[in-house]
Amino acid sequence: MKKTLNLSILFISILLLASCNTENNNKRYDSSDNIRIIDSFKIGIPQAIVADINKDKILAYNMISNDIVIFDIAKKKQKKFNKYGNGYDEFMASLQPYTLNFIKDSLVGISSVNKIKVYNSNGLLKDTYQINNNNTSAPLSNFEFLNDSTLVAVTKPQGDNSKRSYYNQNHQLLLKFNTQSDSITRFAEFPLPESDLNLKDEDFYYPYPFIYFNQINKNEMEYSLINSNDSNLYLFDINSTNLKSIISLDLDHYKPLKKPFNNTSNSSQNMAMMEFFMNSTIVGYHKNEKFDFIIYNEAIERDKLIEHFKKNDFTGPNFVAPKSKLWLHKLENGQKKSSDILLPSKYGFPIHINSENQAIFSKPISESDDYNGTSTFYIYELNPTEE
């Protein structure tokens, strides 16, 4: 299970290390004429991992100390607490981006396998929801409160995804919980219809189908979901638990790595690292009233990786990550209107896109930030042009 929990952290960390300028003749954001810094701010924990953003508030944590920060962007103020422990009002679950979430205002939820604990901004335990989730050993993830009584969460399938049996489990991917009656409704059988993960009759599998991204529309009681290795976006009606629609994503530079089933050879650590960069993976999903934004990385060719690691350290403290290109796929009212856009990786990793042309980036990890115990973020205005 630790492999599943740590993959999103590992991937984002490596992409941050790989942050650098890349040359390309496509539409892009890396011209000084097409990007403008609107604002910047520092969060008072080093190597902050952003779990959620609610209007002008950021929820972040440090994976080593388990410090949790609620940062107000407008006021440039933060509140920090740490409730890691085995007391009744503490949590023992490993923090990850999709087990830590805003509930409403400044209330924060932290999920484990069978419960969600709710804290205020001072770290005071306000509520605990006990949820019967004993069909999986994975913590409830991607949980969202669509109203005061309705909670929806992902329950990840368990097992070895390199085995065919993983894709034939009769597992319900989503769970709806009524906080007043404690009733549970399970729905959305895994793999989902038309999913790239319908692999039980294929000769291959994808190596990293562990991470889910979601967004909600409370007015429509709609929950949208995408998997890191699935080029389909799913929209669910939470009142009926029916699948409303499937949007097939036409990603211009998406080429996930395919590995053969029943391959008994054990990959070396170096080969596993090579495969990591040879894979395209969806790494972010953002939404507003009109647009859906999907962020994914472009796979690097094997020959280019070999050449890179001939010249640079492969492991250890002097590890030099290859240049990894990030692409932005934009849907307007569910339709693709333009080619995918190369994001400016030299500015860091995009953690939030809150309008058609405004985004928040986390600055690449730096020694000065680590020394000062801070993490730096920039808000950019993005104005892509054709080149």
pLDDT tens for 115-154 read 999 999 999 999 999 998 876 778 899 999 999 899 999 9
pLDDT tens for 217-267 read 999 999 999 999 999 999 999 999 999 999 999 999 999 999 998 765 556
- Whether 144 is covered by a domain: the verdict is yes
| Percentage of the chain lying above the pLDDT 70 cut | 85
Interval 276-303 mean pLDDT: 92
Give Cβ neighbours of residue 171 (< 8 Å, ≥ 6 apart).
135, 136, 155, 157, 189, 190
Supply the CATH number for residue 285's domain.
Answer: 2.120.10.30
When the pLDDT of each residue in the chain is averaged and rounded to a whole number, the result is 85
- Whether 387 is covered by a domain: the verdict is no
- Whether 337 is covered by a domain: the verdict is yes
Strands laid side by side in the 77-81 sheet: 49-54, 57-61, 68-72, 77-81
pLDDT tens for 46-89 read 999 999 998 889 999 999 999 999 999 999 999 999 999 999 99
What does pTM read for this prediction?
0.89
| Percentage of the chain lying above the pLDDT 90 cut | 58
Q: Is 7 helix (H, G, I), strand (E, B) or coil?
A: helix
Domain extent at residue 186: 2-382
d(CA 21, CA 288): 28
Residue type present at position 112: S
d(CA 148, CA 8): 29
Query: How many structural domains is the chain composed of?
Result: 1
Whether the Cβ atoms of residue 294 and residue 233 lie closer than 8 Å to each other: yes
- Whether 57 is covered by a domain: the verdict is yes
- Confidence at residue 317, expressed as pLDDT on a 0 to 100 scale: 65
- Whether 115 is covered by a domain: the verdict is yes
Interval 332-357 mean pLDDT: 85
pLDDT tens for 305-322 read 888 888 877 666 677 778
Q: Residues of 60-84 as b/e, b for ≥16 C-beta within 10 angstroms?
A: bbbbeebbbbbbbbeeeebbbbebb
Interval 367-373 mean pLDDT: 88
- Whether 59 is covered by a domain: the verdict is yes
